[in-house]
């Protein structure tokens, strides 16, 4: 079955600390992987995506993610979190011509 798992419902980090949000997927075909961020009451903004090639992808706002096929993971990282990064983060997987499957989301809180 195709699925996306974000095991952490809520994470709190201190401002300036590093961040890693986990994402594991199960997908039968070549996966296209995405991370989106959603602020309260807003739509989704694409942070980064992986289609092929270099398994370490850089995104906006200083985020990066690493695709690990052997672990079926696509974890999101940021070396130094800013207070404005507090939001909900969604991992998604899709395939060519297919729809997206979203994870349940991870809410990030940032302590001053």
Partner 1 sequence: GAVVSQHPSWVICKSGTSVKIECRSLDFQATTMFWYRQFPKQSLMLMATSNEGSKATYEQGVEKDKFLINHASLTLSTLTVTSAHPEDSSFYICSARASPGTGTEQYFGPGTRLTVT
Asked whether the beta carbons of 26 and 33 are under 8 A apart, the reply is: no
Question: How near is the Cβ of 99 to partner 1 at its closest, in Å?
Answer: 6
Residue 91 is encoded by which pair of tokens? 């991992």
Footprint (CB under 8 A) of partner 1, residues 26-55: 32, 34, 36, 41-46, 49, 51
Return the ∠ at Cα 77 (arms to 30 and 79), rounded to 5°.
155
Binding of partner 1 at residue 98 (CB under 8 A)?
yes
Residue 42 is encoded by which pair of tokens? 């807003």
- Which chain residues interact with partner 1 by CB under 8 A? 32, 34, 36, 41-46, 49, 51, 90, 94-100, 102-105, 107
């Amino acid at each position: 079955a195709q699925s996306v798992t974000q095991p952490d419902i809520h994470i709190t980090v201190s401002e300036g600390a590093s961040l890693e949000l986990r994402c594991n997927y199960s997908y039968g075909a070549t996966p296209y992987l995405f991370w989106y961020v959603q602020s309260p009451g807003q739509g989704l903004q694409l942070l980064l995506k992986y289609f092929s090639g270099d398994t370490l992808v850089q995104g906006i706002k200083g985020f990066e993610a690493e695709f690990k096929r052997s672990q079926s993971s696509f974890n999101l990282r940021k070396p130094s979190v800013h207070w404005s990064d507090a939001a909900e983060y969604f991992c998604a997987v899709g395939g060519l011509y297919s729809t997206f499957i979203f994870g349940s989301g991870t809410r990030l809180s940032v302590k001053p």
